[in-house]
C-alpha cells in the first residue's frame, strides 16, 4: 500500500476529538498501522497519530530512539509501538520545557512545557494492556501524540510563542552565531 498523506494544521480533523478504537485486533486496523509506519518513516518522524492521516481514531504510533534520550535517568528508549486508546496520567506537577516539531506543522519547532513524568496505559495491537511510567523525551513524545487525539497541536501548549520558528532559520542563525564566536576568538588571539 502506498503511504498516506499527512494533513497539516488547518485541516479540521486536527481539531477534533478522535473516537475510541473498538477492536484492537481488527486486521483493517493493523493494515492502517502498517501504512502509518511507512508514512512516518518516509516523513522522518518519531510519532504519528491516526488523525494526522485523516482517520479520527484513538491510535498513535511512536518510538523513542536512544539518540534522542534526555539526561533524565528515567528516560527510556522504546521500539516502534502502537498505542490504542491511550490514557495519560501526569505524575506530580513538575513541567519541563523541550523543543518539539510536528509532521502537521512542517519545518517548524517550538519550546513546549510538558509533564516531566507520566503514567500511561493503552492497548497494544494484540489487545493486551500496555502500562508504563515514562519521563524525559519518552514522556514528551507520548504527550505530543496523545494531544492529537484530543484535537490539540503543540503551539496551543506553548507559553512563549516567541520561540516558535522555522528549523532551517534557527539552524542558520546558530551557524552564524558560531562563526561570529569563532571569528571573535581568532581576533582575540
Ligand atoms: Ni504532531
pLDDT in tens, 60-83: 999 998 888 888 888 888 999 999
Residues of the chain short of pLDDT 50, as ranges, are none
Distance (Å, whole) CA 41 – CA 35: 10
- pTM value is 0.92
State residue 16's pLDDT score: 98
Query: What's the 144 CA to ligand 1 centre distance in angstroms?
Result: 6
- Provide CB contacts within 8 A for 153, sequence distance 6+: 9, 14, 102, 104, 105, 147
State residue 159's pLDDT score: 97
Q: Read off the pLDDT of residues 21-36 as tens digits, 9 standing for 90 and up.
A: 999 999 999 999 999 9
Query: What's the 47 CA to ligand 1 centre distance in angstroms?
Result: 7
Query: What's the 180 CA to ligand 1 centre distance in angstroms?
Result: 34
State residue 71's pLDDT score: 86
Catalytic residues: 145
Query: What's the 40 CA to ligand 1 centre distance in angstroms?
Result: 11
Q: Count CB-CB contacts under 10 A for residue 128.
A: 10
Query: What's the 24 CA to ligand 1 centre distance in angstroms?
Result: 22
Distance (Å, whole) CA 4 – CA 184: 49
Would you state the cell numbers that stand for residue 32, as one nine-digit string? 492502517
State residue 31's pLDDT score: 97
State residue 6's pLDDT score: 97
Query: What's the 186 CA to ligand 1 centre distance in angstroms?
Result: 42
Q: Count CB-CB contacts under 10 A for residue 34.
A: 13
State residue 189's pLDDT score: 57
State residue 182's pLDDT score: 81
DSSP 8-state assignment for residue 113: E
State residue 1's pLDDT score: 55
What are the residues whose beta carbon lies below 5 Å from ligand 1 (ion)?
102
- Provide CB contacts within 8 A for 54, sequence distance 6+: 4, 5, 7, 11, 13
Distance (Å, whole) CA 116 – CA 68: 16
* Domains of the chain from N-terminus onward: 12-187 (3.90.45.10)
Would you state the cell numbers that stand for residue 139, as one nine-digit string? 514522556
State residue 188's pLDDT score: 61
Amino acid at each position: 500500500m502506498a503511504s498516506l498523506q499527512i494533513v497539516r494544521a488547518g485541516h479540521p480533523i486536527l481539531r477534533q476529538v478522535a473516537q475510541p478504537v473498538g477492536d484492537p485486533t481488527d486486521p483493517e486496523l493493523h493494515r492502517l498501522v502498517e501504512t502509518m509506519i511507512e508514512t512516518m518513516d518516509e516523513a522522518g518522524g518519531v510519532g504519528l497519530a491516526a488523525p494526522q492521516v485523516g482517520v479520527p481514531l484513538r491510535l498513535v504510533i511512536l518510538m523513542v530512539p536512544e539518540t534522542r534520550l534526555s539526561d533524565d535517568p528515567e528516560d527510556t528508549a522504546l521500539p516502534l509501538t502502537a498505542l490504542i486508546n491511550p490514557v495519560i496520567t501526569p505524575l506530580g506537577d513538575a513541567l519541563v520545557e523541550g523543543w518539539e516539531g510536528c509532521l502537521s506543522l512542517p519545518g517548524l519547532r517550538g519550546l513546549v512545557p510538558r509533564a516531566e513524568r507520566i503514567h500511561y496505559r493503552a492497548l497494544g495491537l494484540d489487545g493486551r494492556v500496555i502500562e508504563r511510567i515514562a519521563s524525559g523525551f519518552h514522556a514528551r513524545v507520548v504527550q505530543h501524540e496523545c494531544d492529537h487525539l484530543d484535537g490539540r497541536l503543540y503551539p496551543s501548549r506553548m507559553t512563549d510563542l516567541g520561540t516558535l520558528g522555522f528549523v532551517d532559520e534557527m539552524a542558520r542563525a546558530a551557524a552564524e552565531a558560531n562563526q561570529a564566536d569563532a571569528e571573535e576568538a581568532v581576533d582575540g588571539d
